[in-house]
Structure 1
Amino acid sequence: MPDLIYSTGTVSVASSGQVVTGGGGPLWASNVMRFDTLVVDGFGPVTLLDVTDDTHLSIAKWPYANVPAGTAYQILQSSPLRFSGSQTSAEVIRLTGALETDGFFVFVRSDRATPDPSKGDEGQYARQASSGKEWVKESGVWNYQGISKPLGEPAPYDNAHTYGLMDVATLNGSSYIWINDTPGAGHVPPNATYWQVLASKGDTGPTGPLPWLQTAAWATGQNYVVGPPASIVVHPINKNTYQCVVPHLSGNFATDLAAGKWLLIGQSATEATSATALAIGTGTKVFSAVTGFSYQNGVRLRASSNASPTNWMEGVCLYDPVVQVITMTVDKANGVGTYGDWNFNHVGQPGAGDLTSSLNLADLTNKPAAVVNLGIPALLRGLPLAGLKITSTGIASFSVSAGVACDRNQADMISLGAALSKTSAAWNPGNGNGALDTGAIAAGFYHVFIIRNPVGSGNTDILISLSATAPTLPSGYTLCRRIGAVWWSTASSTFSPLLQRGREFWWPGVSLDVNTTIGTTLQTFALASIPPGVQVQAILTVIAWNTAQNTVWWVHETAMVDNAPSYSLGGTGVEASAATSGNMTEVRVWTDTARQVAARSTVANTTLRLVTRGWYDPFE
Structure 2
Amino acid sequence: MTALASYSTGTVSVPAGGTIVSGSATIWSGTNVRSGDVLQIGNFQTIIADVTDPTHLVIPPWGGGAQADAAYVVWKMSPQRIAGAQAMADVSTLVAALNTTGFFWFIDAALAVPDPSLGSDGQFALQPSTGKMWVHAAGAWTYLGIYRGLGIPAPYDNAKAYNLMDVATIGGSSYVWINAASSSGHAPPDPTYWVLLASKGDTGPAGPLPWLQTAAWATGQNYVAGPPASVVVHPINKNVYQCLVAHVSGTFATDVAAGKWRLIGQSAAEGTSASSITIGAGSIGFTTQTDLSYQNGVRLRASSNANIGNWQEGVCTYDPSTGALLMFRDKFAGAGTFNDWNFNRVGQPGAGDLSSTANLSDLTNKPAAIVNLGIPGLMLGHLSGLKITSPGAVSTFSVSAGVACDRNAGDMIVLSAALTKSSSAWAAGNNNGCLDTGALANGFYHVFVIKNPTTSTVDVLMSKSATVPTMPAGYTLFRRVGVVWFNSGVNFSALLQRGREFIWPGSALDISATIGTTLQTFALASCPTGVRVQALVNVIAWNATQNTVWWTHETGLTDNAPSYSVGGNGLEASTATSGNANDLRIWTDTSAQIAARSSNANTSYRCFTRGWFDPLEG
- TM-score, normalised via structure 2 length: 0.45
Give 1 or 2 for the bigger CA radius of gyration: 2
- TM-score, normalised via structure 1 length: 0.45
